[in-house]
C-alpha cells in the first residue's frame, strides 16, 4: 500500500490520527524501526501471531476513539504464554469497553516485547512561524515532569542531530553509567533526521510522538507511535504548490 494514499484515505474518513499499525507502516517507509508486530481481529489469530514471533509479547487495543491506550486499560505487557494471552486479551477489551463505552474496536496489535533500554522520546510539530520542528529528550512516563528536551528545525544533518542530543540531560545516561554500555547515539541521531523528513514530506502530519523510544548499544526501537493529521495543513500545502 502506498503510504501517502493511506494517509489521504484516513483523512477522507474524517479521522484525525493514524492508528498505531498505520503509524508503524508510515514510519517504516522512512527508515524508522519498531518491534515486530501483527494486527489481528480475534484471540485465535493473536495467539498464532504471538507464537510466530515468540513470547513474551505486548497486546494493545486498536480503536480510533482510544488515543491514550494505557489510560483506557488498553495495553497489557509481559505476556509469557498462550493462557496468559487469552486472559489478557479478554481483560483488556473488557477494560476498554468499561472506560470508553462508545469505542469502535478494530482489533488488537500484538507486539514483540523488547528488552529494557534507556527510554528517550522523539517528537515533532509544525510551528506557525518556523515550520516543521523536531524534539528529542528523556522519554517514558516522566517526560512532562522532567522537561528534558531539545528542539531543532526539521531539516538537519547528523552533526546537528548529535548536538541536539548532547544538549539533554539524558545524554549522560546514553553514554553509559555504572556497568551499562553506551547506547548507539548515531542511530538516535538518524532517527531524529528521519522524523524530520517525515514531517517535511508529509504535510498532512501536524504532530508526531514516539515515546518511549528504547535505546540500546547497537540500535533503537520505537515502542509507541502517535501521528496526528490535519486536513487543513494538507489543503494549504496543495494551494501553495
DSSP string, 108-166: EEEEE-----EEEEEEEEEETTTEEEEEEEE-STTHHHH--EEEEESS--HHHHHHHHH
pLDDT by 10s per residue, the chain, length 241? 799 999 999 999 999 999 999 999 999 999 999 999 999 999 999 999 999 999 999 999 999 999 889 899 999 999 999 999 999 999 999 999 999 999 999 999 999 999 999 999 999 999 999 999 999 999 987 777 778 999 999 999 999 999 999 999 999 999 998 788 999 999 999 999 999 999 999 999 999 999 999 999 999 999 999 999 987 755 555 545 4
142, with CB counted inside 10 A (0-12, 13-18, 19+), is exposed
Amino acid at each position: 500500500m502506498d503510504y501517502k494514499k493511506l494517509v489521504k484515505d484516513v483523512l477522507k474518513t474524517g479521522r484525525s490520527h493514524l492508528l498505531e499499525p498505520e503509524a508503524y507502516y508510515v514510519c517504516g517507509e522512512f527508515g524508522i524501526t519498531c518491534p515486530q508486530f501483527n494486527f489481528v481481529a480475534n484471540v485465535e489469530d493473536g495467539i498464532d501471531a504471538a507464537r510466530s514471533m515468540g513470547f513474551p509479547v505486548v497486546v494493545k487495543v486498536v480503536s480510533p476513539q482510544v488515543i491514550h491506550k494505557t489510560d483506557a486499560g488498553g495495553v497489557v505487557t509481559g505476556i509469557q504464554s498462550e493462557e496468559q494471552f487469552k486472559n489478557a486479551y479478554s481483560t483488556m477489551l473488557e477494560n476498554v469497553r468499561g472506560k470508553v463505552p462508545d469505542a469502535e474496536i478494530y482489533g488488537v496489535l500484538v507486539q514483540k516485547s523488547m528488552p529494557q533500554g534507556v527510554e528517550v522520546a522523539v517528537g515533532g510539530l509544525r510551528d506557525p512561524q518556523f515550520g516543521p520542528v523536531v524534539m528529542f529528550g528523556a522519554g517514558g512516563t516522566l517526560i512532562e515532569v522532567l522537561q528534558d528536551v531539545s528542539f531543532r528545525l526539521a531539516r538537519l544533518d547528523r552533526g546537528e542531530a548529535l548536538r541536539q542530543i548532547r544538549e539533554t540531560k539524558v545524554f549522560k545516561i546514553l553514554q553509559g553509567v555504572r556497568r551499562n554500555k553506551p547506547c548507539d547515539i548515531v542511530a538516535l541521531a538518524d532517527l531524529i533526521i528521519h522524523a524530520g523528513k517525515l514531517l517535511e514530506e508529509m504535510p498532512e502530519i501536524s504532530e508526531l510522538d514516539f515515546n518511549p523510544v528504547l535505546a540500546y548499544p547497537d540500535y533503537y526501537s520505537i515502542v509507541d507511535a502517535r501521528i496526528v493529521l490535519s486536513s487543513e495543513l494538507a489543503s494549504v500545502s496543495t494551494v501553495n504548490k
